[in-house]
Amino acid sequence: MKQSNLFGRTLREAPSDATTPGTQLMLRAAIARPLAAGLYTWLPLGFRVARKVEQIIREEQDRIGAQELRIPVITPAEYWKETGRWDTLEPVSFRTKDHNGRDYMIGYTHEELVMHHARNEILSYRQLPAMVYHFQEKGRDEERPRAGLLRVREFVMKDAYSIDRDWEGLNEQYWAQHGAYAKTFARMGLDAISVESDTGNMGGDVAHEFQVLTDVGEDRLVFCTNCDYKANMEKATRKIESAAAAPSNVPAATPIATPGITSIDALTSSLKIAPKDLLKTLLMKDLTGNVVAIVMPGDRELNEPKLRKVLKTSDVKFANDTDFAAVGAVPGYIGPTLATLAEQGPLPLGLNARLLVDASVETRPYVAGANKKDTHVRDVLPGRDFKGETVDVHDVREGDPCPKCGGRVTIKRGVEVGNIFKFGPYYAEKMKATYLAEDGTHKPLMFGSYGIGIGRAVQTIIETHHDARGIIWPLAVAPFQIHLLPLFSKDESVRESAEVLLKELEFMGLEVLYDDRDDSPGVKFADADLIGIPFRLTVSARTVKENAVELKRRDEEKATLVPRGEIVSKMRSLVGERRR
């Protein structure tokens, strides 16, 4: 490929709204270009990388027996309605109608469609197990697309689906995919770590994510410093000691005047106490508008994915003023219903809402809101003064005890590059997808789902493989293997020597980007470093005179001179060596 013909130009500076190093380099190196918020066009260099990423994935899927197919991106509403996801995915999906008024969704994912085909194609246990995959466009109406290809509104995903007869078979396929993912990411040059994760809108109960640790990641990951416990913050838990018996010497709860004090900071400053000695009560509502009150210590944060799981809803939001009025809550002074005080008269009966008490609330006295303006309550004792459903809906934080071994946990940031889900009969039961078992009965198909986003994988490679000068592509995914740079002079021998070398390299099957532009050496070297092809070969008047070629690896500082007669075999060896 002649660089003068390459569609796409390098940029000296990245656009000001490119916030991560990978986004900046992706744009500067002409890997992709934005079309609109969350929509990107692959330019030829980037498209070559994306194709190589797809091929690595394809080879590892084929290796474990998965079969490739292709399902449309425009999907009929009727299948989504069978599982209820037509409604739950409404805020984040793209919809359309045909000329007859029929509803369609741009595929958010493809579980329903695969299950539809499975219930028609798989009739007997003799056809199981089965595993299929495809590469297909996905549409997700992200509210805040960010960081280039890391969070977009349209992208290609490889999603695979396993179908089996029982949990044992599903487990076998699930862990086969887990192993295939580990090999896939390693071949791409990504150091991906498997962590427990929340299933979110996908359904089911068991899932793992493959995360690449990087400061630009939006996911928070919890690691034990003592054992192998790893989990996404959305799923992470901590060890909580068994509840102690309620102390018998706690004074009765007493109202205290706190005029104008509506925040935790103001309250702790006024009463000279720590945030952990306060109870905050949050009003939240689910997708259908049901309001719940969550009681937790003032130093803990609500984990919304955990709350969604408890409420069995796809979305939760903070309550608004209307919701506050409907349940009898007073903004700034909200607290659990204190029955022991309300019965005596000084306080209103309080909240008319389902009460959830976070597992981090201890059996000891706290200060809490009184559901009365300018009033809090001292010596509120959980279990004595209020009761509710105990749930775990708080974030784990740095230094918390590990739920597995009791050691301390640490928190790091990562980018999710792949995920796998173990659904079991979740979709089959909703879609009445059964097979005839050996005993003559009909049983639900056991289902698993496995996804890798192509664009996110490419940008994560850039985020984790670069230096101050540009990208450093791993050889397996690089757009080209060799960047050939002739430094033209008045002596035509440089051009002639470079073009002969180009023909020899390409004849041997090597992928070469040939910089045939009449630019200065400085411009050519800068672009070579920016684009980041693994090997750079330079032909100049000096190298021609010395009957040699200058070889430089992108990930090394120094170049070496290789005899001209040895350079082709040298490059074949290096490319083969690095592929392994």
Cα dihedral value 53, 55, 60, 61, nearest 10: 110
**What's the pLDDT score for residue 94?**
95
Tens digit of each residue's pLDDT (9 = 90 or more) over 36-47: 999 999 999 999
| Domains located in the chain, CATH noted | 3-204+417-463 (3.30.930.10), 254-391 (3.90.960.10), 480-579 (3.40.50.800)
**Distance in angstroms (rounded) separating the CA atoms of residues 117 and 226:** 46
Six-digit token string for 274? 């720590």
The residue assigned the tokens 């996110």 is: 456
How much is the pLDDT for 350?
62
Mean pLDDT, residues 447-468 taken together: 97
pTM assigned to the model:
0.87
What local confidence, expressed as pLDDT, does residue 372 receive? 87
pLDDT band at 285 (very low <50, low <70, confident <90, very high): very high
Among candidates 16, 18, 290, which has minimal Cα distance to 147? Answer: 18
Q: How many CB atoms lie within 10 A of CB 563?
A: 11
Condensed to tens digits (0 to 9), the pLDDT of residues 174-194 reads 999 999 999 999 999 999 999
| pLDDT exceeds cutoff 70 at 254 | yes
Residue 200: pLDDT band (50, 70, 90) is low
pLDDT (average), residues 543-570: 96
pLDDT digits (tens, 9 = 90+) for 61-106: 999 999 999 999 999 999 999 999 999 898 899 999 999 999 999 9
Q: Which residues pair with 279 in a beta bridge?
A: 297, 368
- Whether residue 273 has pLDDT greater than 80: yes
202 pLDDT higher than 70: no
How much is the pLDDT for 336?
84
Strands 446-453 and 409-424 turn out to be: antiparallel
pLDDT at 342: 44
Higher per-residue confidence, 328 vs 60: 60
Report the amino acid identity of residue 424: G
pLDDT score at 201:
56
Residue type, position 48, single letter: R
* Residue 204 pLDDT: 60
Under 8 Å CB-to-CB from 106, ≥6 apart: which residues? Answer: 73, 74, 75, 93, 94, 95, 96, 137, 138, 139
Q: Which residue(s) pair with 413 in the sheet? A: 220
Q: With pLDDT > 90 as the criterion, what percentage of the chain qualifies?
A: 80
Say how far apart CA 200 and CA 88 lie, in whole Å. Answer: 11
Q: Which of 2-16, 340-354, 412-426 has the lowest mean pLDDT?
A: 340-354
pLDDT per position as a tens digit, 116-127? 999 999 999 999
Cβ-in-10-Å burial (0-12, 13-18, 19+) of 90 comes to middle
Across 268-272, 381-385, 392-396, 432-436, least confident range: 381-385
Confidence of residue 235 (pLDDT cuts 50, 70, 90): confident
Q: Is the pLDDT of residue 579 over 60?
A: no
Q: In which band, very low, low, confident or very high, does the pLDDT at 196 lie, cut at 50, 70 and 90?
A: confident
Across residues 476-494, what is the average pLDDT? 93
Burial of 396-418, coded b for 16+ CB within 10 Å and e otherwise, reads bbeebbbbbeeeebebbebbbbb
- Flag the least confident range among 145-149, 418-422, 574-578: 574-578
Q: Mean pLDDT in the chain?
A: 92
Rounded (to 5) percent helix, strand, coil in the chain: 30, 30, 40
The region of weakest confidence among 164-173, 177-186, 306-315, 426-435 is: 306-315
pLDDT at residue 344, rounded to an integer: 46
- Band of the pLDDT at 386, cuts 50, 70, 90? confident
CB 155 within 8 A of CB 438: no
pLDDT number for residue 52: 98
**Cβ 244 vs Cβ 358: under 8 Å:** no
- Vertex 151 angle, CA 108 and 423, to 5°: 40
